[in-house]
Amino acid sequence: MAPSAGHLRPGRYLAFFALIVVVLYALVFFTGGGKATPKLGIDLQGGTRVTLTARTPDGGQPTRDSLNQARQIIETRVNGIGVGGTEVVLDGNNIVITVPGEQGDEAKNLGRTAKLGIREVITSVPNTPAAPPASGAPSAPATAPGKPAGGGGAEGAPAQQPPSSAPPAPGASNGQDAGKNPIEEARAVRQAPALMPKDPKNQQEAAAAQAAQQKALAALACAPNAADPLEGNDLPNQPLVTCGDKDATKYVLGPEIIPGTEIANANSGYDQQRGQWIVDLGFKSAGGKTWGDFTSANIGKQAAFVLDTDVVSAPTVQNAILGGNTQITGKFTQTDAKNLADILKYGSLPLSFDSSDATTVSATLGYASLQAGLIAGAIGLAVVFIYCLFYYRLLGILTIWSLVLSGLLVYAVLVLLGRWIGYTLDLAGVAGLIIAIGITADSFVIYFERLKDEIREGRTFRSAVPRGWSRARRTILASDAVSFLAAAILYIIAVGDVQGFAFTLGMSTVLDLVVVYLVTHPLVAMVSTSKSKFLSNPRNLGLGAVQKLGSQRKSTRPAPGRRANVKEA
């Protein structure tokens, strides 16, 4: 026998649901800066989305490690654009770059292979620019090549504050060459052949090279997330003035001696004897020979590992390294050692990328798409509301109230998922939410029709509620399980926008069960036990016709005792 409606204690279910809503919205308003709006895809807010398809030289499947490292490198480049809200995510073997707003054109060029190389360190200075010298004060003498420079004089003077009478540095922008290529401008200063003397023994050439180095170092501004026009565009056969040590040091580097493609492997580990984390590095045959020749001739000097013009490590050569197996030591933490090993291993990316798709949506079109999605959702809700009110009356009002609460739940979950896992709502996701309205309403219809079946059998509304729920919940569970399974399969086998549709459809299906179990059924149970004549009137609940039919069937059904008396006669 089904339990009575009074045993349900609907107040506890409703209180538990209210607690869930309060917790979710407390997280929405009091975490993540309090921004209570879901993250929108570029088709709803405008922007640029570039899909890069990875491929390996042998045509095989790229490894997950190489894809993750490629994503990190490309993400660093995207952040260098200086546009907030950029995202770089993995989608199977694809890397999807999303740049919101109108500044996403540069994202289309971010899929080039990262450049890793090894260069000799000519000189280095701390990135501590000093105040410019007083007018007429002589500048400090330049330091000798290969030794750290001080922070005063010309070395520390900011490039943007030269004396008004002094001409700009060669290749530097003076505000009148706005149309000049910034890459060529940077090369003219930071990769000028004059930075390296052709004959180091020639004092005149050495002095000129030293002056060019100090001028380039002074003109170079190293700052976190600063865009570098030479990133990935530096010339390997020319010297390079660049930043490193997390922008704490400026370097003058010689031409590239070994390209990153000659690195065979790199792994981090803990040296028990030294009691520190190290990085073991191995070269291919040609790179190993070059590395052996370089280390033999440059003991005591530094070699810089340069990734996209940034010095990621500049170890000092302590002895000649023959055979190519190298150990890099330093003040590494476990994370630092692993990151350096990953950069050295995948910095040159054993992958190349094809730009398989590039989509640009204007902010105006994105707003129009969002407006159209909201209108479509409002129309869908209105149709469901009208149907429920016309067909179920007061039960229809309970349906509407349940849908509103379901909407509150979905909205909070979308906001939190955007913060926690970077989920962005796009048009396909909006379509999934609109279809989910029908799935949620379908659960109510199943329940209410089961109630009608019970009342049609001659039962009262109060006794029909627990019996109808007992039968309806199995059907609701089966229906939602099929919907969720279909959404999960679609999410697994699909890519791109279709995944957004499948995700919101599956999420809404799960939340539908929460609302039906914790809100709809308890509310119906409360109505069935209410002492209000208005609420207990079957006509007001849209059950008048089926109750009349149930009463007729009950009155025409012979009693068991009377049927037995007829048999005896």
Q: Between 197 and 109, name the one with better pLDDT.
A: 197
- CATH code of the domain occupying 45-110+354-358: 3.30.70.3400
Angle at 23 between CA 17 and CA 29, to 5 degrees: 135
pLDDT at 207: 92
Q: Is the pLDDT of residue 356 over 80?
A: no
According to the model, what pLDDT value does residue 165 have? 31
Residue scoring higher pLDDT (141 or 286): 286
Any bridge partners for residue 473, and if so which?
none
Beta bridge partners, 242, equal 251
pLDDT for res 376: 85
Return the beta strands (E) in 446-534 as ranges: none
Q: Per mean pLDDT, which of 105-119, 253-267, 379-393 is the most reliable?
A: 253-267
Residue 83 confidence (pLDDT): 57
Above 70 in pLDDT, residue 170?
Answer: no
Q: Which tokens sit at 123?
A: 């000189």
The residue behind tokens 């709006």 is: 37
Ranges of each domain in the chain: 5-40+362-556, 45-110+354-358, 116-166+181-346
The residue whose two tokens read 């919907």 is 483
Rounded to an integer, the average pLDDT of 50-67 is 78
Q: Do the bridges between strand 116-126 and strand 249-259 make them parallel or antiparallel, or are there none, so unpaired?
A: antiparallel
Q: What gap in Å lies between CA 54 and CA 92, rounded to an integer?
A: 10
Determine the length of the chain: 569
pLDDT of amino acid 496: 67
Token pair 């390209």: residue: 259
How many DSSP H helices and E strands does the chain contain? 17, 12
Largest CA distance in the chain: 138
Please, are residues 46 and 362 in contact by the beta-carbon 8 Å criterion? yes
Q: Are 122 and 361 in contact (CB under 8 A)?
A: no
pLDDT band at 529 (very low <50, low <70, confident <90, very high): confident
Q: pLDDT of 477-501, one tens digit each?
A: 999 999 999 999 998 887 667 888 9
pTM score of the predicted model:
0.55
* pLDDT at residue 554, as a whole number: 62
Residue 412's pLDDT is what? 93
Query: pLDDT band for position 295 (50/70/90)?
Result: very high
Phi/psi at 155 (5° precision): -65, -35
The token pair at 240 is: 């390079």
Looking at every residue in the chain, the average pLDDT score rounds to: 78
> 180-189, 236-245, 433-442, 534-543 — which is least confidently predicted?
534-543
Confidence of residue 234 (pLDDT cuts 50, 70, 90): confident
Euclidean distance between CA atoms 313 and 344, whole angstroms: 10
Confidence of residue 22 (pLDDT cuts 50, 70, 90): very high
In CATH terms, are 5-40+362-556 and 45-110+354-358 the same topology? no
- Asked if residues 355 and 51 have their Cβ atoms less than 8 Å apart, the reply is yes
CATH 1.20.1640.10 fits 5-40+362-556, yes or no: yes
Using the structure block, give the residue that is written with the tokens 């809200």: 85
Whole-number Å distance between alpha carbons of 468 and 475:
11
% of the chain exceeding 90 in pLDDT:
23
Q: CA-to-CA distance for 100 and 565, rounded, in angstroms?
A: 84
For residue 491 the two structure tokens come to 């999410």
Residue 105 pLDDT: 61
Query: Is the pLDDT score of 358 beyond 80?
Result: no
User: What confidence score (pLDDT) does residue 81 get?
Assistant: 56
Amino acid 101: pLDDT: 65
CA dihedral of residues 74, 78, 79, 80 (deg, nearest 10): 100
Residue 295 near residue 317 (C-beta atoms within 8 A): yes
Compute the average pLDDT of residues 202-223: 90
pLDDT at 142: 35
Write the burial class of residue 341 (CB in 10 Å: 0-12 exposed, 13-18 middle, 19+ buried): buried
Q: Is 121 in contact with 314 (CB distance < 8 Å)?
A: yes
What pLDDT band is residue 172 in, cutting at 50, 70 and 90?
Answer: very low
Question: Could you tell me if 403 and 437 are in contact, meaning their C-beta atoms sit under 8 angstroms apart?
Answer: yes
Query: Do residues 477 and 469 make contact, with C-beta atoms less than 8 angstroms apart?
Result: no
The three-state DSSP-derived secondary structure of 129-186 is CCCCCCCCCCCCCCCCCCCCCCCCHHHHCCCCCCCCCCCCCCCCCCCCCCCCCHHHHH
Say yes or no to pLDDT of 312 above 80.
Answer: yes
The pair of structure tokens assigned to 221 is: 């501004």
pLDDT of residue 144: 32
Q: Using CA atoms, how far apart are residues 412 and 409, in angstroms rounded to an integer? A: 5
Answer whether residue 37 shows pLDDT above 60: yes
Q: Is the pLDDT of residue 327 over 50?
A: yes
What is the reported pLDDT for 149?
Answer: 31
266, two tokens: 């790199």
| Cα distances (Å, whole numbers) of residue 285 to 211, 262, 290, 299 | 38, 8, 9, 21
What pLDDT shows up at residue 550?
63
Mean pLDDT of 2-27: 82
